[in-house]
Amino acid sequence: MATQIMPAGTAIINNHSGVCPQISLGFVRNAFSKSFSFSSEKISRASVRKAIRPVVKCSVQVAEGNATSVKRPYTTVDTRLVLEDGTVWRGRSFGATGTQVGEVVFNTSLTGYQEILTDPSYAGQFVLMTQPHIGNTGINTDDEESDECFLGGLIVRNLSATVSNWRSTEPLSDYLKKRNVMGITDIDTRAITRRLREDGSLVGVLTTDTTKTDEEILDMARNWSIVGKDLISGVSCKEPYQWKDKTGTEWEFSKEVSADMDTFNVVAYDFGVKQNILRRLTSYGCKITVVPSTWPASEVLKLNPDGVLFSNGPGDPSAVPYAVESVRECIGQVPVFGICMGHQLLGQALGGKTFKMKFGHHGGNHPVRHLPTGRVEISAQNHNYAVDPASLPEGVEVTHINLNDGTCAGMTFPAMKVMSIQYHPESSPGPHDADPAFYDFVQMMKQNKQSRS
Ligand SMILES: NC(=O)CC[C@H](N)C(=O)O
């Protein structure tokens, strides 16, 4: 962001002034109550300024007539975000330093930045939060969606100077530093979002390196693409493991969850699984074995599961043919459920095609219609690819559509006991409308088991 030069001696009452917003607002209120009656005449800006000037305590030092010697109590510009369209955005670094390349996507969720940071599906991407005030609830020990942050970096308008939440154990910037994730703040996220909406997702490079020119950084951005990269192998677990955690009793919200539920053995392919998927399935009575993305389907089927879950995951579904093959081998053997990347892999395994959307869906309020019932769910979404419904073979039904753009948001192949959704039933962050999808999967496993016994 360009450094703002203020006329000497001016009291500044906006957010970007170097004066903490709380102080300036509180101060204006005091100034009003001392000098003006609230009820009556219009108060001119000039008279307000005059009234507040004498008592402003401003730590920004403004040198009379010499813009270059303005001193601020913090660094205003020490990071660049260079986009492949040639634009250079300057801001302030937080978290780790260095240079990172990735695709810039914007996320419209108002809350839940910690879950977003730890969603492995963001590997290879920078997340720009359209909510301008980020960091105010700090970081806690419960809201992790994986043990690592795989995203390229975080782009925010305004990193909160203070943390206020009873669960917080550390500030966002310390957390990102420890996890080696770069962040940039004081950057015009609205302008970048408009650009991404108009031109589509763009590759960007975020750097604190001052030795490289803008042109060199731009070259890096232009020579990188997320298309065709297997990002799943970098985020999947290396060995199988058992998952046992449920949603904590104080957080449980589903009427279908009870202590005496039937149990089902589920194998979950970890393409970058979010832990709340595993938690919700466990709450619905599943015993889960998580396997790496490269685990052969034959080994999975040897475990005799009641169902197989294909998880969410980062990047281009066309870049992981080995995963499509495993999905294909499971279809028809046991009931299967695909979420997001899992849905896209199922689409391909069934013979359909996936394509890259203009800027994807990333947020917590995407309306989706369940076509058979007309029920609308407000859903959490995070994807840049989608299944082309016209490419799906006979027998496969599109069950859900995204009401913003009509894209395929879910499908089923009843004859093969396949169900999948393009969005996030575990939400985290997001509304819980889509949670019944887990119950539907459990019902599918139950019916399958009954029909076989
Ligand atoms: N959340 C996900 O599984 C993301 C799927 C895929 N990486 C996409 O961008 O479309």
Q: What is the ipTM of this complex?
A: 0.97
Protein residue closest via CA to atom 3 of ligand 1: 312
The CATH number of the structural domain formed by 68-222 is 3.50.30.20
Protein residue closest via CA to atom 8 of ligand 1: 383
In the predicted structure, residue 389 carries a pLDDT above the cut 50: yes
Q: Which carries the bigger pLDDT value, residue 90 or residue 68?
A: 90
pLDDT bin (cut points 50, 70, 90) of residue 69 is: low
68-222 and 232-452: same fold?
Answer: no
Among the listed ranges 144-148, 242-246, 249-253, 267-271, which one has the minimum average pLDDT value? 249-253
Distance 261 CA to ligand 1 centre (A): 31
pLDDT at residue 44, as a whole number? 53
pLDDT bin (cut points 50, 70, 90) of residue 345 is: very high
Q: Which two three-digit tokens encode residue 131?
A: 């909510």
Nearest atom, ligand 1, residue 119 CA: 1
Distance 384 CA to ligand 1 centre (A): 6
pLDDT at residue 10, as a whole number? 30
Furthest CA-CA distance within the chain: 87
Identify which of 310, 385, 408 to mutate to test ligand 1's pocket (most ligand atoms within 8 A of the CB). Answer: 385
Task: Enumerate residues 6+ apart whose C-beta is below 8 A from 372.
Answer: 399
Amino acid found at 349: A
Amino acid found at 247: T
Distance 234 CA to ligand 1 centre (A): 14
pLDDT at residue 452, as a whole number? 86
Distance 442 CA to ligand 1 centre (A): 24
pLDDT bin (cut points 50, 70, 90) of residue 118 is: very high
Nearest atom, ligand 1, residue 354 CA: 10
| Domain assignments of the chain as residue spans, ordered by start | 68-222, 232-452
Protein residue closest via CA to atom 4 of ligand 1: 383
pTM: predicted TM-score of the whole model, two decimal places: 0.84
Distance 95 CA to ligand 1 centre (A): 25
In the predicted structure, residue 155 carries a pLDDT above the cut 60: yes
pLDDT bin (cut points 50, 70, 90) of residue 11 is: very low
The H or E element spanning position 245 is: none
pLDDT at residue 75, as a whole number? 67
pLDDT bin (cut points 50, 70, 90) of residue 259 is: confident
* Residue 382, ligand 1, Cβ within 6 A: yes
Count CA within 13 A, CB hemisphere, residue 442.
20
In the predicted structure, residue 65 carries a pLDDT above the cut 50: no
Distance 54 CA to ligand 1 centre (A): 55
Contact 379, 367 (CB under 8 A): yes
* Residue 312, ligand 1, Cβ within 6 A: yes
* Residue 341, ligand 1, Cβ within 6 A: yes
- CA gyration radius for the chain? 25
pLDDT exceeding 70 applies to what percent of the chain? 83
**Mean pLDDT over residues 409-428, rounded?**
97
**Mean pLDDT over residues 206-214, rounded?**
97
State whether CATH 3.40.50.880 applies to domain 232-452.
Answer: yes
Nearest atom, ligand 1, residue 386 CA: 10
Identify which of 231, 276, 277, 384 to mutate to test ligand 1's pocket (most ligand atoms within 8 A of the CB). Answer: 384
Q: Which two three-digit tokens encode residue 50?
A: 């005059």
pLDDT bin (cut points 50, 70, 90) of residue 383 is: very high
Q: Which two three-digit tokens encode residue 123?
A: 């590997």
pLDDT at residue 26, as a whole number? 30
pLDDT at residue 260, as a whole number? 84
In the predicted structure, residue 17 carries a pLDDT above the cut 60: no
Q: Under the phi-then-psi rule, with left for phi > 0, alpha for psi from -120 to 50, and beta for the rest, what region is 50?
A: alpha
Give the residue numbers annotated as catalytic, written as ranges: 340, 424, 426
pLDDT at residue 74, as a whole number? 65
